[in-house]
Chains A and B, each alone.
Chain A
Amino acid sequence: MVGRPRHGPGRPPTDMGDGDTDNGDSDNGDAGNGDSGNRYDQIAVLLEAARADPRGGMDQLIVELTPLLWHVARAQGLDAGSCADVVQTTWLNLLRSLADIHTPAALTAWLVTATKREAWRAKDAHRQEIVASDEAFADLLDATDGPAERALVSDQRRRLWKAVDQLSTRCQQLLRVVAFTPRPDYGLVATRLGMPRGSIGPTRGRCLAKLRELLTSDPEGEWG
């Protein structure tokens, strides 16, 4: 049997258990991409399994969505060790709210908000300001892939990073998180990160539009 988790002091963020009521709009229309649609459907199935058995049924959900939580936490400028604790705490907090969450969109919204808050709480506690910036990419650019693909891959990445680097810090953070969202949902993620939302539903959004313009206007690139 699942035990009744005792609540830690002041833990559950009360204004986040909004279920799927204000996120239903995010379910309208597909992202125009089979893969993201499939991933969304898959997470819907995993969510049901987790709701049915919160302690035993969350394994796959944890595998699927931990990268999203990791990048939400890291995008807040928190060091890696603290981010690992933040992500773990967020999953444990989710156990208490799982009953109120019915759709993957609601789950994403809850997790992004909870992770962000936990990261800020940790930041306040540690008073650490370590922002992942160019240093993270110095390693990236040297990363070795398959020998045959290495040049091309690093050239693509270099171009992409050059374009990303021209965006504002907020846009970089937002796109980092949107890129890991089950159905790339700019509006939903922007709202939960406390950023202006262009419109409702899975739209391109200002930051992605800007990045796309930068990439497609590069005559040497292959994004045209």
Chain B
Amino acid sequence: MTSLRPDEPIDELDVRILAAVRDLWTAADPPPADLVERIRCAVALHGLRLGPPSVAVCRQRTGSEDVGRITFDSDALTISLSVGVNRDGTVRMDGRLSPPGSHDVELRTEDQRLSTRSDVHGRFTINGLRHGPAHLVVSATDVSLTTPSITL
């Protein structure tokens, strides 16, 4: 067997072997599917007036599947969403903010941004949405909350 020197620069075969090792571990033990979204959310919220970074802020609680209820909790604000499909196939989102208040609400998808404002009871509706990933940004007086990505 030819002896390989550890102090040689890595070559093309080394890189191929490492790529195979990477594939091996990617298949064997991948990160949780929602981990990147959780981290993005935590980073987006970090430094806002939410107190210390909270893992709980960035977890979504899903209710029954057909209704599509999702709640995002944070120290400052809770966003409760129900998502339904209209007869024409578009998506309707009804939301409630707690504590209630009138705030700017923006839904961001890959190719559109739809803005509205919640009423004094914290309620808002965004209608005519297309299916796909989206996230919501709620701008209160001194807090801006960005939810992790949800699939409409």
Q: Which residues of A contact B (CB under 8 A)?
A: 2-6, 8, 29, 31-33, 35-36, 54-56, 58-59, 62-63, 66-67, 70-71, 74, 80, 84-85, 87-89, 91-92, 95, 132, 136-137, 139-140, 143, 156-157, 160-161, 164, 175-176, 178-180, 184, 186, 198-199, 201-206, 208-209, 211-213, 215-217, 223
- Bound complex: CA A199 to CA B5 (Å): 11
Q: Which residues of B contact A (CB under 8 A)?
A: 1, 3-32, 35-36, 38-40, 42-44, 46-49, 52-53, 55
A-B contact pairs, 8 of them (CB 8 A): A32-B15, A62-B40, A71-B25, A71-B29, A140-B27, A204-B8, A209-B4, A223-B13
Contact call B24/A186, Cβ cutoff below 8 A: no
The secondary-structure label for the interface of chain A is helix
Given the known interface contacts A92-B53, A157-B27, the answer about A204 and B7 at a Cβ–Cβ threshold of 8 Å is: yes
- Bound complex: CA A199 to CA B8 (Å): 9
Q: Which of B17, B23, B40, B52 has the most CB of A within 10 A?
A: B17
Which 6 A-B pairs give the minimum distances between C-beta atoms? Answer: A3-B47, A179-B22, A70-B31, A209-B4, A179-B21, A33-B15
Given the known interface contacts A3-B48, A55-B46, A87-B39, the answer about A205 and B9 at a Cβ–Cβ threshold of 8 Å is: no
Contact call B24/A204, Cβ cutoff below 8 A: no
Contact call B9/A139, Cβ cutoff below 8 A: no
Contact call B24/A5, Cβ cutoff below 8 A: no
Q: Which chain A residues lie closer than 8 Å to B32 at the CB level?
A: 80, 84
- Bound complex: CA A151 to CA B25 (Å): 18
Q: Which chain A residues lie closer than 8 Å to B43 at the CB level?
A: 54-55, 58, 62, 91-92, 95
Partner of A203, one of B8, B27, B47, B49: B8
- Bound complex: CA A32 to CA B35 (Å): 32
Given the known interface contacts A31-B15, A95-B46, A156-B20, the answer about A204 and B9 at a Cβ–Cβ threshold of 8 Å is: yes
- Bound complex: CA A217 to CA B35 (Å): 39
Q: Which chain B residues lie closer than 8 Å to A88 at the CB level?
A: 35, 38-39, 42, 53, 55
Partner of B9, one of A176, A178, A202, A209: A202
Given the known interface contacts A208-B17, A209-B5, A217-B1, the answer about A203 and B39 at a Cβ–Cβ threshold of 8 Å is: no
Contact call B47/A179, Cβ cutoff below 8 A: no
Contact call B46/A179, Cβ cutoff below 8 A: no
Q: Which chain A residues lie closer than 8 Å to B10 at the CB level?
A: 31-33, 184, 186, 202-204, 208
- Bound complex: CA A184 to CA B11 (Å): 11
Q: Which of A62, A80, A217 has the most CB of B within 10 A?
A: A62
Contact call B7/A203, Cβ cutoff below 8 A: yes
Residue in chain A with minimal CB distance to B31: A70
Q: Which chain B residues lie closer than 8 Å to A5 at the CB level?
A: 46-47
Contact call A32/B47, Cβ cutoff below 8 A: no
Contact call B42/A160, Cβ cutoff below 8 A: no
Q: Which of B1, B10, B20, B27 has the most CB of A within 10 A?
A: B10
Given the known interface contacts A67-B26, A217-B1, the answer about A84 and B6 at a Cβ–Cβ threshold of 8 Å is: no
